[in-house]
Structure 1
């Protein structure tokens, strides 16, 4: 087994952690979530969720990886051999997300190119679904590969695997040192331009105007916790893996707070830019902002091209926006696949490069499913079930196992406090023992209940069962089966030494 790699500098690790957290969801999910859940009033539950759950789990995962110095499965194995399956479930979730996340980055890359000539024309919705993606009519229908998606998809995987082959210090760290500052500079330019547009004030008022009557609505608080949870890259195994590359004397708690607040800062910046632009569009169309506000694929690839069409120097604005999406996506994708590569190399005792070659090839092959005419519908269902049910269950399982079942919070609190200037205390323990399990349990039960009552997206039952429920069950079964395979002697001896086993 090769020696474990390390970050070159603390700032390199922070850039990487921020790069993982700052992704597509910051740009196209947060602004609309805030607007839909009370506007300015949403920031109160959002901040509470960040302080009680987001930073608490982030600090826990940094301490886990730093103390046990292994991938997610190896870390959980060293915590307790019977909890190893949690780490493998995280690996499989990360692997699954990587296979379709790469497609969204490929679309962003294509639209960066389209921006030079506004190739989408006036009918941006028709261009996306018909001219570009050639969407199939029926869910579950593959319909053949879409040629226009293949080249950008190949570039995405070449960049991602190329960075991975270069390693932690020379690959991931160097890439994030370039991409994150570039992303921030480009998005600042977008925001400055957006807030100077006619009608921008109307959009910003819609975004920030507090609806205080919504504060007592439980759904608003659940939305706040959901946004924090999804945007910080927790329960993927990412932060456990990244923190395992830190030197032994590294400050973990301060790093967690820096990464957490940097992520939220970028979300706020994205909200300002997005709603200033939506205000401009609403002003031009002479309609209220709520008539043009949207989220997800529709916001990025339908609404924003419409906005870009109306702007002076539209090509520049379009290139900056879609290149920002591309960079944000790449930094997240590289962190996601690192979870897989690290785990496979350690479990099966093979070199890092061999693990990248094998698992990377499989991921590329599976991603072609989403490059078909039916790919968007496959992506929609898989993404929903993995994120809204799979990750919630995983986060609950992670926290409950460590805090409630094994009762090891004091171990990780002491470890973090030993190397960190900022100390974890009783509030951190209360969050992980009480607040976080309650919130996650409610989110899990409510999501499952809703999906048992009505199929997500009104898709056919067979389609939802096959690519939603069955996929989640399959990942769980595979995770348990892999955990039965023995580790190498080095891992076993280290686990026994740490747990005091002779």
Structure 2
């Protein structure tokens, strides 16, 4: 008998935890900053309404209907479409090879923060040397002899152990229990840090840079593309996670409200992160006379800017260290809540097709994933290959899968029928506007995002050095080819479970 979520609260926390991750902390603030500040919020809001919420409802409703992950979901539409499901769940597997290395840095900094509290090492006011020691340097993605970070490698083992121990216990015994504790804890801790940040001298400088609208840019198509890409990136749609989570919903669960709450929780975290990041950076700009981008536009914000900000909150070494530990513990929780959802996405799909125990399957995936993460723990892997792989997976594969998913489910299964099923036990009913969004508006906008991102990636190589071009071909396009190849290999293997593969009864939508 298939597991189900034991409570709506547990499901919401698990789904929100899956959507909320390390990327929210830096990606949303700087996407807004680079794309017109407050003007970015309008296309971001439109993207939430026209893309995130409709797709979240679709994935929850369809996952509950077919009681399975992406592989079973697309097999039910049409047997040959099973390969699409496998490509979807290959995304979290690939991401799971490099994402733990970022979480690992948070783990390392947690340890260093305790060392700071006990007076062993004083580093929070000047984290640069420590960051350099942990992540190392390399000349390029092809600089395989640069070495490997033993700090990251050791922490990656801990991260994968946490993933393994939580996911192998299943939905109610592992993921739901963990999410019920850690997701609200993460939100509370981040709100506390946000409140403290807005009280810092110079915080208003940062908030003005983030929220002051530059409406002269509002008609720039790239801003709208960036907004849709951000929403897609941060909600974990089209990679099998939410279909898998939806498959464990009780048949009388409120799909619509659950989907809306999940999206709004994630977007709220985006805003909290934006206020936290830019209030802190405003303080640093004011006190140090540096630019907003001096600390980078990526993970460097969390790992360089915040230790400095934390060191200014108190002159007491012990308090500084404990605050640092709590902050990086927040990052660790955000990372783990996302990583277990990625692991569950592939696990659910594989359990649907292959007759194997959850414990054995999760153990195999964890060993393979740990091996992959060890490669990204190298200096070349962390500093170069990670960014390349992430760019191709995020900008090409995920958006493309979202486009394919919404077209196939909308036109083969039918949005009218899916809407009726979603509304059946929901307090708030969605109307025909939902059908039109999924069938016409959302595919059009996602198509524009896919074409634009692919064009930018390809044309960007024409002005790049030879080593950069080779690196993108090997690790970027190479990753895409491997993902599709492995997905096809799993697709060709025979089903060994007793799952019925008869196609779902379909009928055209009545407009």
**TM-score bracket relative to the smaller structure:** over 0.9
Q: Which residue of 2 aligns with 1:492?
A: 500
Q: Which residue of 1 aligns with 2:40?
A: 42
- Which of residues 439, 443, 448 in structure 2 aligns to 1:433? 439
Pairs within 5 Å for 1:342-491:
342-376=348-382, 377-404=384-411, 406=412, 408-455=414-461, 460-488=468-496, 490-491=498-499
Instruction: Report if the CA contact (8 A) 2:257-2:428 is conserved.
Output: yes
Structure 1: unaligned runs, 5 residues or longer: none
Residue 420 of structure 1 aligns to a residue whose secondary structure is coil
CA, structure 1 residues 349+140, in 2 after alignment: closer, same or farther (shift >3 Å)? same
CA, structure 1 residues 9+121, in 2 after alignment: closer, same or farther (shift >3 Å)? closer
Residue 498 of structure 2 aligns to a residue whose secondary structure is helix
Distance in 2 between residues matched to 1:474 and 1:311, nearest whole Å: 47
Q: Which residue of 1 aligns with 2:149?
A: 146
Distance in 1 between residues matched to 2:97 and 2:395, nearest whole Å: 17
Residue 296 of structure 1 aligns to a residue whose secondary structure is coil
Pairs within 5 Å for 1:296-315:
296-312=298-314, 313-315=319-321
Size of the aligned set, in residue pairs, is 494
Which piece of structure 1 moves more, 258-267 or 470-479?
Answer: 470-479
Structure 2: unaligned runs, 5 residues or longer: none
CA, structure 1 residues 496+223, in 2 after alignment: closer, same or farther (shift >3 Å)? closer
Q: Deviations over 1:62-91 (max 9, x none)?
A: 011000000110111112212111110011
Q: Which residue of 2 aligns with 1:256?
A: 259
TM-score w.r.t. length of structure 2:
0.92
Instruction: Report if the CA contact (8 A) 2:124-2:310 is conserved.
Output: no
Pairs within 5 Å for 1:312-331:
312=314, 313-331=319-337
> C-alpha displacement at 1:140, in angstroms?
2.1
Q: Deviations over 1:12-54 (max 9, x none)?
A: 0000000001101111111111122121221111111100111
Distance in 1 between residues matched to 2:454 and 2:392, nearest whole Å: 10
Distance in 1 between residues matched to 2:367 and 2:293, nearest whole Å: 43
Q: Deviations over 1:385-409 (max 9, x none)?
A: 11111111111111122224x2622
Instruction: Report if the CA contact (8 A) 2:413-2:506 is conserved.
Output: no
Q: Which residue of 2 aligns with 1:6?
A: 4
Instruction: Report if the CA contact (8 A) 1:187-1:320 is conserved.
Output: no
> C-alpha displacement at 1:333, in angstroms?
0.3
Instruction: Report if the CA contact (8 A) 1:278-1:292 is conserved.
Output: no
Instruction: Report if the CA contact (8 A) 1:386-1:472 is conserved.
Output: yes
1:161 aligns with 2:164: yes
Pairs within 5 Å for 1:213-362:
213-287=216-290, 290-292=292-294, 294-312=296-314, 313-362=319-368
Instruction: Report if the CA contact (8 A) 1:389-1:444 is conserved.
Output: yes
Q: Which residue of 1 aligns with 2:215?
A: 212
Q: Which residue of 1 aligns with 2:111?
A: 113
Distance in 2 between residues matched to 1:483 and 1:425, nearest whole Å: 36
Distance in 2 between residues matched to 1:10 and 1:151, nearest whole Å: 36
- Which of residues 67, 80, 83 in structure 2 aligns to 1:82? 80
> C-alpha displacement at 1:127, in angstroms?
3.3
CA, structure 1 residues 450+429, in 2 after alignment: closer, same or farther (shift >3 Å)? same
Which piece of structure 1 moves more, 302-311 or 158-167?
Answer: 302-311
Q: Which residue of 2 aligns with 1:172?
A: 175
CA RMSD of aligned residues (A): 2.0
TM-score w.r.t. length of structure 1:
0.94
1:93 aligns with 2:100: no
Q: Which residue of 2 aligns with 1:188?
A: 191
CA, structure 1 residues 290+80, in 2 after alignment: closer, same or farther (shift >3 Å)? same
Distance in 1 between residues matched to 2:350 and 2:8, nearest whole Å: 26
Distance in 2 between residues matched to 1:188 and 1:396, nearest whole Å: 34
Distance in 2 between residues matched to 1:488 and 1:318, nearest whole Å: 49
Distance in 2 between residues matched to 1:139 and 1:306, nearest whole Å: 29
> C-alpha displacement at 1:110, in angstroms?
0.8
> C-alpha displacement at 1:293, in angstroms?
6.5
Distance in 1 between residues matched to 2:125 and 2:295, nearest whole Å: 18
Distance in 2 between residues matched to 1:460 and 1:275, nearest whole Å: 32
Q: Deviations over 1:453-489 (max 9, x none)?
A: 2239865222111111121122113222322223246
Residue 424 of structure 2 aligns to a residue whose secondary structure is helix
